[in-house]
Amino acid sequence: MKTLLQSLRMILLMTLVTGVLYPLLILGLSRACFPDQASGSLIVFKGSILGSKLLAQKCDRADLFWPRPSATDYQTIPSGASDLGPTSSALATAVKARRSLYGQNAPSDLLTTSASGLDPDISVEAAMAQIPRIALARKMDEEQLRSLVEKHAQSKQWGLFGEPRVNVLSLNVDLLALQNPTP
C-alpha cells in the first residue's frame, strides 16, 4: 500500500511538473522572446484578423494575388501533398488546367502543389506573373504592383536556404490598403 501511495504521489507531481508548469514556462518564454510567432503570426487589417502569415489561404479573387495550389484545398487538418507522380494522368490534367489559367510560361510553383498544401509563400516570379491579371481587375498601373511585390520580396533564409519568396497574405493586405486606406 505504501508503494502504491508513493507511486500515485509521483504521478501527480510529474503530471503537475510536465503537464502544467513546463508548458506554462515554455509559453511564457515564447511570448517574451517571440511574441508574434507565439501568437500565431496573425495579420490584422482594419481591426479584423485575416489569417496567419504562416498558412496559405484560398483566394480566387481576380484582383488579389493567388497562393500556390493546394492538394487539400487549404484545409489545415488533413494537410499534405498529393501522391501523384510524374507519370500520373491526374497530375498532368491538373497542371494543364493551371497552365491555361496562368499561361504557358507560368512558374512551377503556380502549377504544382506544395508539400504541405499550406505554403504561405510563392516565388517572386509567381507573384510577378499575376500582375497583368491584377492590374486589369484593379485598373492599376503594373509598375505600381511590381513595386509592391519587390517591397514584399524576402531573400533566401539566412542567405542560404530556399528561394526568394513573397508572403501572399501580407502582399494582399498591402494591396487592399493601397486602394482602401484605413480612415
Residues 99, 67 within the same domain: yes
**Per-residue pLDDT at 70:** 84
Residues 143, 162 within the same domain: yes
Residues 80, 2 within the same domain: no
**Per-residue pLDDT at 89:** 87
User: How many angstroms separate the CA atoms of 9 and 158, rounded?
Assistant: 48
Residues 95, 138 within the same domain: yes
> What domain range is 47 assigned to?
41-179
**Per-residue pLDDT at 32:** 94
Residues 56, 105 within the same domain: yes
**Per-residue pLDDT at 75:** 80
Q: Which residues of the chain have pLDDT under 70?
A: 79-82, 180-183
pTM: 0.76
Residues 30, 110 within the same domain: no
113's grid cell: 502543389
Residues 74, 136 within the same domain: yes
